[in-house]
Amino acid sequence: MLTMVIDDSRAMRLILKRIVAQLGFEVVEASNGKEAMDYLTSTLEGGTEAPGLALVDWNMPEMNGLEFVTAVRAEPRLRSMTLMMVTTESEQSQIVRALAAGAHEYVIKPFTPDAIIDKLALLGLLPNGVAA
Amino acid sequence: MTLTAQEFAFISGLVRRDAAIVLETGKEYLVEARLLPLARQLGVATVSEFVNRAQHRPEPETHRRIVDALTTNETSFFRDGEPFSQLVSTVLPDMLTRRAANRNIKIWSAACSSGQEPYTLAMVLQDAMPPGWSFDIVGTDISQEMLGRAEAGQYSQLEINRGLPATLLVRHFERNGANWRVSPALRKSVTFKRLNLAAPFPSLGPFDIVFIRNVLIYFDVQTKRSVLQRVASTLRPDGWLFLGSAETTIGIDDRFERVVTGRTSAYRLRSAPKTAPVSALGKG
Amino acid sequence: MTANPTEDDLRVIAEQVWSSYLDTDGASPLLPFPAQQRRDDVSASVSVTGAWRGHVVVSCSDTASRNAAAALLGIEHDDVTDDDVTDALGELANIIGGNVKSLLPEPCALSLPHVLMEKTAGRYPSVTEVCSLNGTWLDESVTVSVLESTADFAGVSAP
């Protein structure tokens, strides 16, 4: 499954990429919400495969993660895309805001690879044969 | 690795005697890892030295803490996922029909360690049970320390990051400094008791559902049989039993039959009255 | 009224960060006592603004910064570049800062991380140190500090 990793930190993109690549997912990176949205728009217009999953940071320049989630959920053609926020924002009110905006899941940094994998299992996104 | 063969033998003897847990050779790394924090806490630099002292200056409290450290189960919310989905899609609809008279379900989460499993069950039931129904969950463990943690219902950020759906996190937990604590409502729905599965245990139940996951694997066959027998006696005739994903009653106790549900299995007593109307199953 | 973060809070946060990214097998934790020599050759900080104002700073020796980059980015120690150190330390400051922020009065915002590859003494005027964790990782100095701004809006330092 094509996965987007959206974070302004190259280090964090590398960490997340390593985790999902091990599951056999292909990864596309973006360093902020706007870059990610531009990419999604081009897949929709070009008729190429849109990602099934996006791991999204919150605090990013140009377009932050919350804005990105809101924009994706407003686009009917991206209905089937799963949005998981991966962020340092850990106040209860922030998590509520993210879920209200349409994020499907939420992981707080720091996280272990198992934390991401467990959440993917919950969402039914693990490829067959991979144990939760 | 500092532990000598003799020291390891002492520890495995102690744990076997007090908790019927079997530690074969090959498990030295486990003893080393689990006892190191305890040794450090008590001001001793190596596990070997610590065990040596425990052996030659025996103190019940130290022995108890050693047994606790070695019997602690790793646990997490919604561990393995599938059993809880099957609880909702297969077991609860079955129970809703069978218990329509008193509209109550009792569940036992055995060897619950720091409590994530009973709290998971509470969250699942709160969502799945229709209005007018009540449920009681009992969590038991051999370790007083783990029970204390379970009763406090407070978990670290790393612990709530694992396996717990975000929607349930915000609904059932509140932040408390750097930790997350179960809401008072959730906390009320679970009772915790100390219980050693390997020793005769006080009468519990009767239960409609028993979760005893990933603890039987540590016992020898004889203890497994004895534990399952006593668990069977706490289970209602039409009740359900859930074991760990790598465990089975087959070859140990043929009073149970396996019911394959989705990608996992649960167990019922062979004598279970099959009186629930077929149309009631699989709904919801 | 939320109390200020404490060294214990920093210890808990650091432990979680280390076990998640820098010490995944538990063999090389951040030990909560000062190294032989406290070094701040490299420092990464995030600023906090809003209901609370100040900075969260992670500083360490040059060797520790390379160890961190190697561990975080999954590369060999010898292949670590200055950019790698900047990225890795910056993200560590971001994660630790974010966790400290959640202990502060709401609402607050975190800045992007700033990384300096030079000694940082005196870099933060008009601050008081709220708490700090002086630790040792792989025999090298690593320090986490929480600094609260004391200047008021007019820029005049509080007495």
Q: Of B71, B95, B126, at which residue does a domain stop?
A: B71
Shortest CB distance from C13 goes to which of B33, B175, B178? Answer: B178
Over range A81-108, report the average pLDDT: 96
**Do B16 and B145 reside in the same domain of the chain?**
no
Q: What's residue C125's pLDDT?
A: 78
Residues B25-58 as b/e (b if ≥16 CB within 10 A, e otherwise) read eebbeebbebbbebbeeeebebbbebbbebeeee
Q: What's residue B72's pLDDT?
A: 73
Q: Is C2 helix (H, G, I), strand (E, B) or coil?
A: coil
Q: What's residue A36's pLDDT?
A: 98
Residues A11-40 as b/e (b if ≥16 CB within 10 A, e otherwise) read bbbbbbbebbeebebebbbbbbbbbbbebb
**Residue A95 sits at the chain B interface (C-beta within 8 Å):** yes
What residue of B is the nearest CA neighbor of A132? B80
| Sequence-distant (≥ 6) Cβ neighbours of residue C86 within 8 angstroms | C115, C117
Residues 33 through 72 of chain B touching chain C, CB cutoff 8 Å: 33
Residue B166 one-letter amino acid: A
Mean pLDDT is lowest, of B105-119, B145-159, B248-262, for B248-262
Nearest to B135 by CA among B99, B184, B163: B99
Q: Check CB contact under 8 Å for C9 and B178.
A: yes
Residue B111 in tokens: 């060897």
Q: What is the pLDDT of residues A121-131, one digit of tens each?
A: 989 898 765 55
**Residue C17 sits at the chain A interface (C-beta within 8 Å):** yes
Percent of chain B with pLDDT over 70: 96
Distance between CA atoms of residues A83 and A92, nearest Å: 18
Indicate the DSSP class of residue B219. Answer: B
The verdict on residue B213 lying in a domain is yes
Distance between CA atoms of residues C15 and B177, nearest Å: 16
Mean pLDDT is lowest, of A25-39, B57-71, C34-48, C143-157, for C143-157
CATH number of A2-122: 3.40.50.2300
**Do B64 and B88 reside in the same domain of the chain?**
no
Q: What is the pLDDT of residues C97-115, one digit of tens each?
A: 999 999 999 899 999 999 9
- Surface-to-core class of residue B199, CB atoms within 10 Å of its CB (0-12 exposed, 13-18 middle, 19+ buried): exposed
Distance between CA atoms of residues A57 and A88, nearest Å: 8
Q: Of B71, B105, B128, at which residue does a domain stop?
A: B71
Contact call for residues C56 and C45 (beta carbons, < 8 A) = yes
What residue of B is the nearest CA neighbor of A86? B161
Distance between CA atoms of residues C125 and B1, nearest Å: 49
**Do B65 and B206 reside in the same domain of the chain?**
no
Contact call for residues C44 and C115 (beta carbons, < 8 A) = yes
The verdict on residue B28 lying in a domain is yes
Query: How high is the mean pLDDT of chain A?
Result: 94
Residue B129 CA, chain-centre distance (Å), reads 22
Peptide bond into A51 cis (omega under 30): no
pLDDT classification of C1: cutoffs 50, 70, 90: very low
The verdict on residue B124 lying in a domain is yes
Q: Of B71, B96, B118, at which residue does a domain stop?
A: B71
Range of the domain at B40: 5-71
* Helix or strand (DSSP H, E) at B256: strand B256-261
pLDDT classification of C158: cutoffs 50, 70, 90: very low
Q: Report the CATH number at residue B267.
A: 3.40.50.150
Contact call for residues C17 and C96 (beta carbons, < 8 A) = yes
Rg value, chain B, Cα: 20
CA distances to B234, B240, B241, C44 from B257, rounded to whole Å, are: 17, 10, 10, 60
Angle at A47 (CA atoms; ends A46, A50), nearest 5 degrees: 105
User: Would you mind telling me the total number of residues written for chain C in this entry?
Assistant: 159
Q: What is the pLDDT of residues B179-236, one digit of tens each?
A: 999 999 999 999 999 999 988 888 888 999 999 998 888 888 888 999 999 999 999 9
Shortest CB distance from A15 goes to which of C16, C72, C110? Answer: C72
Query: Best residue in A13, A29, A88, A89 to probe C by mutation, most C CBs within 10 Å?
Result: A88
Nearest to B261 by CA among B277, B282, B247: B282
Q: What's residue A63's pLDDT?
A: 97
Phi, psi of A86 (to 5 degrees): -130, 105
Taken in order of first residue, the domains within chain C and their CATH numbers are 7-17+32-149 (3.40.1550.10)
pLDDT classification of B264: cutoffs 50, 70, 90: confident
- The residue behind tokens 């609260």 is C148
Residue C5 in tokens: 């973060």
- The residue behind tokens 């100390």 is B194
**Do B114 and B159 reside in the same domain of the chain?**
yes
Q: Check CB contact under 8 Å for A99 and B80.
A: no
Query: Best residue in A105, A122, A123 to probe B by mutation, most B CBs within 10 Å?
Result: A122
**Do B38 and B166 reside in the same domain of the chain?**
no
Indicate the DSSP class of residue C76. Answer: -
3-state secondary structure A23-75: CCCEEEEECCHHHHHHHHHHHHHHCCCCCCEEEECCCCCCCCHHHHHHHHHCC
**Residue B157 sits at the chain C interface (C-beta within 8 Å):** yes
